[in-house]
Amino acid sequence: MKHPDQNYAIRTEGEKGRDVTLHLSGHLVTENIDRPMSELQSILDDYTPSQLTIDLSGIDTLDSAGAMALAKTEYDANAGSIPFKFVNMTPGMKNTMDLLNREAFAEDYTGRDRDTGILERMANVFLDIYNDFIRIMIFVGELLSAMVYSILHPLSIRWTDVLLYIKRVGVDGLPILGLISFLIGLIIAFMSSLQLKQFGANIYVASFLAIAVVRELGPIMTAILVAGRSGSAFAAEIGTMKVNEEIDALVVMGFDPVRFIAVPKVLAAIVAVPLLTLYADLFGILGGLVVGVTGLDLTPYTYIHQTIKTITVFDIISGVVKAVVFAVLISGISCQRGFETGEGAEAVGISATSAVVSSIFLIMVADSIFAIVIHYIR
């Protein structure tokens, strides 16, 4: 099949169902690539060869579009379990072919031309979850190893960075956390008072709010806020380092990236999040105090006395323990997502989003487990 107007030719040698050799000549370039691609596909479909060989000795010019056409033919042959090979490929052609990302091409081609069934999609989802779990467990092992080493060698910890991250996670988050906690406490106290004052039980608004804030709302609100503010920042920071190959530079210089980057962030979160939780508890109770004094005719002394009488040391300690666990989950998963960042600016955004979503999910799971365990411990 010669096409002088298209500056290329394809000559077929062999019989249908037997070994087939395609002799290509001329120019396989962007300007004339549509016809060669369709003809190569037609030959593959019509001949269904037992083995396919493509002779490139006659090719004068091959650009990236021509290389893509050859790669597509190779992929189609391999997908049909047809033995395939190129012959007489010059070093220049090989270099052009090597520039292609074969895996990405195969995934894109498969996704466009084959509609997967629901069972296969579900299997792919579970496979992705399984692979993600494996990667997380590997990172957990690396992080635990780095933490143990840092505890045994405290001078190896970059304490300046730990203090910096304590400021970013803790001090910088005080205004917004205080405002949100105050408003949440105010809202819960107001809504509960609408019901309790019908029975003359205004005083129990303080008890209800204190238990709700100290046991559950304080740790959870703090953890979600830290996940949104600091978790995403951790993932974006490490992801940017990954994209800029700064992590590879650390490895070349002999540093352990997990110990060098992740450990200060985790230590800072472990210190800052429990303190933020106590801070959130305080402002949540203050929000309820405003409602109690202005809307329930309670004195500040009465409200505070009822709050102190309701809260136990166990409630405060359990909230702090929750906060420590939440801090490890948030900082750990955020760092892991950062280290898993792909190429490009978009990948950094994906990592930051994934860090926040994963952190909140793990926070809810951990809080559910705490609720059951604390119930039986109490």
Q: Please give the order of strands across the beta sheet that includes 19-28.
A: 2-3, 8-14, 19-28, 51-62, 84-87
Calpha distance 13→21 (Å, rounded): 5
Which amino acid belongs to residue 150?
Answer: S
Calpha distance 183→287 (Å, rounded): 6
Q: Which pLDDT belongs to residue 106?
A: 53
State whether residue 212 is helix, strand or coil: helix
Q: Which pLDDT belongs to residue 101?
A: 64
Q: Which pLDDT belongs to residue 3?
A: 44
Q: Which pLDDT belongs to residue 128?
A: 84
| Kind plus residue range of the DSSP H or E element containing 319 | helix 313-339
Model confidence pLDDT, tens digit, residues 30-58? 777 777 778 887 887 777 788 888 888 88
Calpha distance 75→103 (Å, rounded): 10
Calpha distance 244→344 (Å, rounded): 9
Calpha distance 150→256 (Å, rounded): 12
Output the CA torsion 41→46→51→55 (10° steps). -50
Instruction: Say how far residue 251 (Cα) sits from the centre of its chain.
Output: 22
Q: pLDDT under 70 in the chain at which residues?
A: 1-6, 101-117
State whether residue 26 is helix, strand or coil: strand
Domain locations in the chain as residue ranges: 2-113, 139-377
In the CATH scheme, what is the homologous superfamily, with its name and number, of domain 2-113? STAS domain (3.30.750.24)
Calpha distance 329→358 (Å, rounded): 9
3-state secondary structure 137-169: HHHHHHHHHHHHHHHHCHHHCCHHHHHHHHHHH
Q: Which pLDDT belongs to residue 266?
A: 94
Instruction: Say how far residue 8 (Cα) sits from the centre of its chain.
Output: 47
Q: Which pLDDT belongs to residue 109?
A: 47
- The residue assigned the tokens 């939780």 is 277
State whether residue 22 is helix, strand or coil: strand
Which amino acid belongs to residue 228?
Answer: G
37, 109 contact by CB (below 8 A): no
Calpha distance 275→326 (Å, rounded): 13
Calpha distance 306→188 (Å, rounded): 17
Q: Return the sign of the alpha-carbon dihedral for residues 140, 142, 145, 151.
A: negative
178, 279 contact by CB (below 8 A): yes
Closest CA to 300 of 311, 310, 286, 313: 286
Q: Which pLDDT belongs to residue 204?
A: 86
Q: Which pLDDT belongs to residue 332?
A: 93
91, 59 contact by CB (below 8 A): no
